[in-house]
């Protein structure tokens, strides 16, 4: 009797593990095309709190050709990129559906580091001789979505 019971338990445990793995796989990859859709700037601009940032980006000259994730997510490698995409995405979903999304979006300290790293990564050839510790948006004010005015170089 004990042998039959242990086989049943193993069978149910195997079913739970397989179902859990399938659920995890679906959660990680999402429905078809969700990953591609969620990297499109129109997706990011879909929330009312992001409308002004989306509008500023759409008039941002050369950076209009970039996606939000090109600047705002780590791009050292795909694993880190998708880990942070998941973290930021779930945080955004939580804020949005809880009603706690702030009316004015502010970049976090982690976000500032990621943004600076991505600026340097894309413009590596032109920034080799400057202080790379100073945030790029201190001089290039139009890059920040909420600031206006001409690009300053100090």
d(CA 35, CA 24): 15
For residue 73, CA distances in Å to 9, 61, 82, 105 come to 43, 20, 9, 16
Domains of the chain: 31-143 (1.10.3820.10)
Count of all residues that appear for the chain in the document: 154
Per-residue pLDDT of the chain (154 residues; tens, 9 = 90+): 577 888 888 888 888 888 878 777 766 666 667 777 888 888 888 887 888 888 888 876 778 888 999 999 999 898 899 889 888 888 888 888 888 888 888 888 999 999 999 999 999 988 888 888 889 888 887 777 765 444 444 4
> What pTM did the predictor assign?
0.70
């Amino acid at each position: 009797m004990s042998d039959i019971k242990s086989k049943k338990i193993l069978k149910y445990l195997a079913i739970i593990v397989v179902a859990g793995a399938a659920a995890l796989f679906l959660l990680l990859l999402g429905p078809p095309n969700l990953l591609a859709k969620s990297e499109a700037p129109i997706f990011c601009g879909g929330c009312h709190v992001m409308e002004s940032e989306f509008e500023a980006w759409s008039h941002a000259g050369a950076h209009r050709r970039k996606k939000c994730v090109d600047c705002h997510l780590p791009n050292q490698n795909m694993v880190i990129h998708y880990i942070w995409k998941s973290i930021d995405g779930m945080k955004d979903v939580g804020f949005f559906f809880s009603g706690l999304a702030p009316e004015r979006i502010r970049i976090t300290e982690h976000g500032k580091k990621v943004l600076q790293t991505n600026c340097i990564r894309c413009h590596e050839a032109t920034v080799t001789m400057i202080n790379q510790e100073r945030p790029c948006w201190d001089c290039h004010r139009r890059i920040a979505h909420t600031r206006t005015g001409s690009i300053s170089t100090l």
